[in-house]
Structure 1
């Protein structure tokens, strides 16, 4: 049992490493890996018969590429949060459900998902807010290009504030973004009932 726990701890330590790395380091790493001439990703694609892809240099592929980079970076963090949420669910509930004849699917929908709802709400809210705050990855990998294809809202605010020096317009956009994120957060918390846990219903 101790060996299993040690292996689990080592696995958690490994998958959390991308989240602990600075965003600039992650962006540089993937910029080199996705290089259309020397990148290891294209080298692998060529080895299986797929031609090299432009990835960060393509109008159609730059946003999906940046999205995958950030998914890779935060996957471990999300997994740790979900793992911690799962550990708070009492094993007795699953044992009782098994005695009552509930299979794994029914246990997931009737026990795991309801009791994991506060964690899921937290993960969803933080990730949606984080998706509007992507800046370092774009600044390092694409610089808002090609042809402004990766000019997300944060980059738009940055350009107006520090390139065009139009602080008033940039501040207005930032304020609207703040209000929108607060509204989205409140709606999600109400929809998921994030402040209420279902564990009391099982006691």
Structure 2
């Protein structure tokens, strides 16, 4: 068989790919335009400007002048940058671990008990409350003088649980963050668990597998893409914690909770070092991009055992 005949046979066997009609292309363009415009205006353009500012001495008061990599050399030698990153990393790790464990347990309970819709809706209430309001509410509850929750904990022997206690401050912020996002995270995992065929659990039960064994051998592997999504979103959100710290501590956080986002805000709007703040933000983007890539590769997020 000649090469031309082989190519002809392959063309005949290949399934025909339907082409979009001109009207469909215009409809798709019109529907995608608002989202594309929003992406360009609110994501792409600020990103490009941020990269440009990171190489300037911009201070909000005069026109920026190029300084090359000077801001990046300064941040490498700035111990406060790495201290803030370390605090943020501790917060992110604690938030991820506690949130994931509790959310998985709550999602498994919802899957097994089939809770009513209104019960599941109640789980979303803390997530729907703005973080500014959450910070104000918890700041009042844990106030050193009039805090209701602080006085309640003191009455049962748990003392020192206040916002301004250096030993407890970071863990209080972790607890508030977990409380706020637990319901939403659990519902995401619950939605993933609903995609697992019931026949698999029935087969496992017939084979004598316990609930715990089926959870680790069936449920977790089969919801891997959803689990990867939750991990990536939670990681990025944890590194972006700001309003709980800024509002909860009255614009003057103690060093134990001075996270990297607050340090960037401080450099930009308190010290007017917009160029330097942009350089730190670029560093944070690179770190988050690397962590996201590693997570996606380890979790094999693009593959699903359900397909």
TM-score with structure 2 length normalisation?
A: 0.60
Q: Secondary structure at the match of 2:272?
A: coil
Match of 1:36 among 131, 144, 154: 144
CA distance in 1, matches of 2:166, 2:270: 23
**Contact 1:144/1:155 (8 A) holds in 2:** no
Aligned-pair distance for 1:144?
Answer: 4.6
Instruction: Provide Cα deviations, 1:132-187, integer angstroms capped at 9, x if missing partner.
Output: 111111111123522x2211000010011111111111000101111111111011
Match of 2:201 among 64, 69, 94: 94
The range that moved more, 178-187 or 37-46, is 37-46
Q: Which residue of 2 aligns with 1:188?
A: 295
Match of 2:225 among 113, 118, 125: 118
**Contact 1:144/1:152 (8 A) holds in 2:** no
Aligned-pair distance for 1:50?
Answer: 3.7
1:46-195 mapped onto 2 (5 Å cutoff): 46-51=154-159, 53-142=160-249, 143-146=251-254, 148-195=255-302
**Contact 2:132/2:244 (8 A) holds in 1:** yes
CA distance in 2, matches of 1:93, 1:149: 48
Q: Secondary structure at the match of 2:139?
A: helix
The range that moved more, 135-144 or 186-195, is 135-144
**Contact 2:192/2:226 (8 A) holds in 1:** yes
CA distance in 2, matches of 1:54, 1:111: 40
Residues 18 and 179 (structure 1), Cα distance of their counterparts in 2 relative to 1, 3 Å cut: same
The runs of 4+ residues in structure 1 deviating greater than 6 Å are: none
TM-score with structure 1 length normalisation?
A: 0.90
Q: Which residue of 2 aligns with 1:15?
A: 123
Q: Secondary structure at the match of 2:146?
A: coil
Higher relative contact order (CA 8 A, sep 6+): 2
Residues 175 and 50 (structure 1), Cα distance of their counterparts in 2 relative to 1, 3 Å cut: closer
For structure 2, the 5+ residue unaligned runs are 1-112
CA distance in 1, matches of 2:150, 2:210: 44
CA distance in 1, matches of 2:218, 2:245: 40
**Contact 2:246/2:253 (8 A) holds in 1:** no
Residues 124 and 144 (structure 1), Cα distance of their counterparts in 2 relative to 1, 3 Å cut: farther
Q: Secondary structure at the match of 1:199?
A: coil
**Contact 2:222/2:305 (8 A) holds in 1:** yes
RMSD (CA atoms): 1.5
Instruction: Provide Cα deviations, 1:93-143, integer angstroms capped at 9, x if missing partner.
Output: 111122223222321222111011111111111111111111111111123
